[in-house]
Structure 1
Amino acid sequence: MKQIAFACALALAAPLAVSLPLTLMAPAAARAAEKLPLSAISAYLNGITTAKSSFTQINDDGSLSTGQLFLKRPGRARFQYDPPSGAAVIVGAGAVVIHDPKSNQPPESYPLSRTPLSIILASHVDLGRANMVVGHDFDGTATIVTAQDPDHPDAGSIQLMFTAAPVELRKWVIEDASGARTTVILGALETGMELPGSLFTSGGGGVPSNLR
């Protein structure tokens, strides 16, 4: 249950190491020029209304989970974990609700506003907002933005990795207030499809077969 909760509710880690041959390592000035500006990243995120992707989750203890992610901005998301877990993390109506069929306990719930994921699910993403971005780097392959909610800096931070041409979200890492880190690596992100509202309600059942 704790590992599932960290998927979206609570977490920052260094990006996956990328080894580049010396011939591909550009001088610092050249690499900086390739870094995506925050305005371009904000525009990309604001342009997403619906999206889905497979994902691989690396938990704080090193264990792996896989599943499907569904987004419906603003404010809604669903992490559907593959069998044998069958768990789901549903974000909607301002809350993050964790359903674990293997648990005898009722679903856990957290306010979305107290999780770093609220940054990318906001109705208007503005990474230029004061004190929101605490890191903006380029690793030779991707732009890495580390952000926190200025109103709730104690809720943790989220590190987002984007590639360019075209801009695409590839990965995020969430760090909670205790320092636990969870990485979510996305597959190909499909956008613009119809997603039923029932996907994002706690009593809405499973994922329709046409979306799997």
Structure 2
Amino acid sequence: MKTRILSFLMILALSAHAGSVAAQALSLSQISDYLNQLQTAQGGFTQINGDGTLSTGQIYIKRPGRIRFEYNPPQQSLVLASGGQLAIFDPRANTGPDRYPLNQTPLHIILQRNVDLTTARMVTNAVSDGTTTTVTVQDPANPQYGNIQLVFTANPVALRQWIITDDLGNQTTMVLNELTTGTTIGDIMFNISAEMRKRGLD
């Protein structure tokens, strides 16, 4: 898979919480339940790219299978996932978006309808530092597609950041701001064809 995919995929740094107290490590079942109950969410993000540069923007999630990354200026790129595809829109191009199968990216793991991290060979590492629980997850049938490292806090359980490692070992970190969950997000936000028409690319 091209490195470019993951350079656009944002994912995750931990929000600082002053005065936070030690929390019990989350179990894989607790994390799976959290992801399965996360139907919609939106918020800001800061992406740390592989070359050390930073990008910021807004993220919208509508499970299963849909996610939208809107990058702020000067980048102004857009990444959409829906219909089993990942589409990357480059504002400097006058052609259609680059498209890739979503199931060949680590994002597929957390966007699928039923997440079960207890599946054999899905979680390759799980650690807790007393404040956060970090799990490294891969597609057990296709580990060659890379992995995603998810960072959670507890009380209540919340996803704070993720790090995507591609098949070449390149890493992209996304730090999530406070996500607002349970919001109403229209399906049009994830419609690749509609976005192409909006940009005059159809």
Aligned partner of 1:159 in structure 2 is 149
| 3-state SS of paired residue (2:172) | strand
**% of aligned pairs identical?**
47
Secondary structure, counterpart of 2:192 in structure 1: coil
Residues 61-80 of structure 1 mapped to structure 2, 5 A cutoff: 61-80=51-70
Is 1:112 the counterpart of 2:113 in the alignment? no
Q: Is the 8 A contact 2:149 2:164 kept in 1?
A: yes
User: Which aligned pairs between 1:126-137 and structure 2 lie closer than 5 A?
Assistant: 126-137=116-127
Deviation track 1:52-91 (CA, whole Å, cap 9, x = no partner) reads: 0100000000000000000000000000101222210000
The separation in 2 between residues aligned to 1:60 and 1:174, in whole angstroms, is 10
- Deviation larger for 99-108 or 65-74: 99-108
Q: Does 1:8 align with 2:9?
A: yes
- Matched positions, count: 190
Q: 1:56-205 counterparts in 2 under 5 A?
A: 56-104=46-94, 106-205=96-195
* Preserved CA contact (<8 Å) 2:3 2:168: no
- TM-score normalised by L of structure 1: 0.82
The letter for the 2-side match of 1:8 is L
Is the Cα–Cα contact under 8 Å of residues 6 and 172 in structure 2 kept in the other structure?
no
Give the TM-score taking structure 2 as reference length: 0.86
Q: By how many angstroms is 1:103 displaced?
A: 3.0
Answer yes or no: is the 8 Å Cα contact 1:7–1:183 preserved in 2.
Answer: no
How far did residue 97 of structure 1 move?
0.3
Measured in 1, the distance between the counterparts of 2:8 and 2:107 equals 10
For residues 120-170 of structure 1, the C-alpha deviation after alignment (integer angstroms, 9 at most, x for no partner) is 101000000010000010123200000000111100000000000000000
Quick one: which amino acid aligns to residue 79 of structure 2? Answer: V
**2:39–2:182 contact (8 Å) kept in structure 1:** yes
**Partners of 1:128 and 1:87 in 2: CA distance:** 35
Two-structure CA RMSD over aligned residues (Å): 2.4
Superposed displacement of residue 6, structure 1: 2.6
Contact 1:78–1:88, Cα closer than 8 Å, also in 2: yes
Following TM superposition, the consecutive aligned residue runs of length 4 or more in structure 1 with deviations greater than 2 angstroms are 1-9, 103-106, 203-206
Q: What residue ranges of structure 1 are gaps of 5+ in the alignment?
A: 19-23, 25-30, 207-212
Instruction: State the Cα deviation string for residues 19-53 of structure 1 (Å, max 9, x = none).
Output: xxxxx8xxxxxx8x821000000000000111001
**TM-superposed deviation, 1:105:** 5.0
In structure 2, what is the Cα distance between the partners aligned to 1:111 and 1:182? 19
